[in-house]
């Protein structure tokens, strides 16, 4: 498609073609970065191709939306690094029947990716402003299988529990007990664990009839999971 634009644009001046070409190149680099960092599950890559990260980054940082870096969003929070979103989603082994809880809606980007893989996605954030902005994007994109709510995710979402999968996108000092309790048998939870000012371990928790198995996947750096609701 880029080539068609470029050929048509030749006699219309460089300005006309500059933006689409730049964006196309940036998006190609975005997917190359995902693959080179280990995101190789075709279903996860296909879901990520359906979600334009540029819509989830506002203001000054929109120009960097297709770089594989975390970026600031409102309320002093961050949209996660895309390759980490991909690796967490891949590790969660989501199937089309799954009901998923995400703790930490943030920009809504991760929830939008999950919405293309799961039957239903519940996402909670302690900042109601972030939930409202993310809900606006979900509506705009027609992602009707996401329910976004303002809530303290340390306690999970008892009204919709239990969950097949839980993805926590803020770092806890330990996997919160209420979240473990809301994970179905056979379920998987992905959670960054560690002090907020240090490198954290990304943990995959698998629940079986015998109990919980813990596997450390890699090192990550997330904003902290904070108890209670935010002021905005
Ligand atoms: N998944 C997001 C990135 C989240 S950043 C995205 O795709 O953009 C982490 C988020 O966790 C922040 O928005 C922060 O407000 C939220 N958070 C921190 N502690 C929380 C808690 N106890 N309950 C719910 N959300 C929490």
Tens-digit pLDDT profile for residues 84-127: 999 999 999 999 999 999 999 999 999 999 999 999 999 999 99
pLDDT at 60: 86
pLDDT in tens, 116-161: 999 999 999 999 999 999 999 999 999 999 999 999 999 999 999 9
- The class that CATH gives domain 42-220 is alpha beta
pTM over 0.85: yes
b/e map 91-100, b = 16+ CB within 10 Å: bbbbeeebbb
Mutational test site, ligand 1, from 68, 83, 126, max ligand atoms within 8 Å of CB: 126
Q: Is 115 in the pocket of ligand 1 (CB under 6 A)?
A: no
Q: Which one-letter DSSP state was computed for residue 172?
A: B
Q: Where are the domains of the chain?
A: 1-36, 42-220
């Amino acid at each position: 498609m880029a080539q068609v634009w470029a050929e048509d644009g030749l006699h219309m001046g460089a300005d006309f073609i500059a933006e689409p070409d730049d964006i196309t190149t940036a998006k190609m680099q975005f997917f190359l970065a995902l693959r080179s960092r280990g995101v190789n599950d075709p279903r996860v890559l296909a879901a990520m191709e359906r979600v334009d990260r540029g819509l989830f980054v506002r203001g000054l940082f929109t120009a960097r939306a297709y770089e594989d870096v975390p970026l600031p969003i409102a309320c002093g929070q961050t949209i996660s690094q895309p390759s980490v979103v991909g690796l967490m989603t891949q590790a969660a082994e989501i199937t089309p029947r799954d009901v998923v809880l995400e703790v930490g809606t943030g920009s809504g980007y991760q929830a939008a990716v999950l919405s293309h893989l799961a039957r239903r996605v519940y996402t909670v954030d302690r900042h109601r402003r972030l939930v409202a902005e993310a809900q606006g994007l979900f509506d705009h994109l027609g992602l009707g299988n996401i329910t976004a709510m303002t809530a303290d995710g340390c306690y999970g979402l008892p009204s919709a529990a239990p969950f097949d999968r839980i993805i926590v996108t803020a770092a806890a000092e330990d996997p919160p007990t209420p979240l473990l309790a809301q994970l179905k048998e056979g379920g998987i939870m992905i959670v960054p664990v560690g002090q907020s000012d240090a490198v954290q371990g990304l943990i995959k928790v698998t629940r079986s009839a015998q109990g919980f198995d813990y596997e450390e996947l890699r090192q990550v750096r997330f904003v902290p999971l904070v108890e209670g609701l935010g002021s905005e």
